[in-house]
Amino acid sequence: IGQIAVLTTVCMIGDVWRSSETSRQFPGHLGPSIFVAAIGVGALCTEWTWWQRCEFEGRTSVIASIAYISGETLESSWRKGFPSLSFYVKHGLHAWMAGVVGLCGSMLVLAPRLERSVGYRLKDLAHLWFAVAWAWFIYQHKQPNDLGASMHWTATTWILIGGFLRVLKPENPKES
């Protein structure tokens, strides 16, 4: 609830509801922000082994990806008729990023099922791929004002730091 309150307040300050085009963006930011917060809380507040964390983050990512793409498809269908693949190629930046999240989630779900050292490295690749893809997504995702740009690049900075720390962190004996 706190996450929703903070996001709603930031959107009110940024005057998101000034037009139907910008107000449509609110649900599209609510879901991803809750997803990123859930992954962060899971990483900070649990004592899981790496393979338990992979299961949680992977399943959460796959579910979030399916939910976002389904919601985007339904909403686009309702407003414009059923979207074609050409719609997503041209306008579906959010849906493509959700697809990357789903692929990273699939890698995380697969990692614990592989030979231990291979799976351990695969999970790092998934985190790094997500962080770099997120940065590319934000670079392509133009903002209508400075507040929007600042908020997106702040989130991107933290996600890049988190992605690189996942790869560079020292070994945790508990996770071996």
Instruction: Read off the pLDDT of residues 61-99 as tens digits, 9 standing for 90 and up.
Output: 999 899 888 877 777 777 666 655 556 655 577 788 888
Check whether 162 has a pLDDT greater than 70.
yes
Per-residue pLDDT, averaged over 115-144, amounts to 84
pTM for the structure as a whole:
0.74
Q: How confident is the model at residue 175 (pLDDT cuts 50, 70, 90)?
A: very low
pLDDT in the model for residue 102? 93
Structure-model confidence comparison of residues 78 and 48, the more confident one: 48
- Give yes or no for residue 138 having a pLDDT over 70: yes
Nearest to 123 by CA among 45, 41, 32, 50: 50
How far is it between the farthest Cα atoms of the chain?
54
| Res 124: pLDDT | 84
Query: Which range among 58-67, 105-114, 119-128, 140-149 shows the weakest confidence by mean pLDDT?
Result: 140-149
Judged by average pLDDT, the poorest of 3-12, 64-73, 107-116 is 3-12
Q: Give residue 145's region: left, alpha or beta (phi > 0; psi -120 to 50).
A: beta
Of 115 and 7, the structure prediction assigns the larger pLDDT to 115
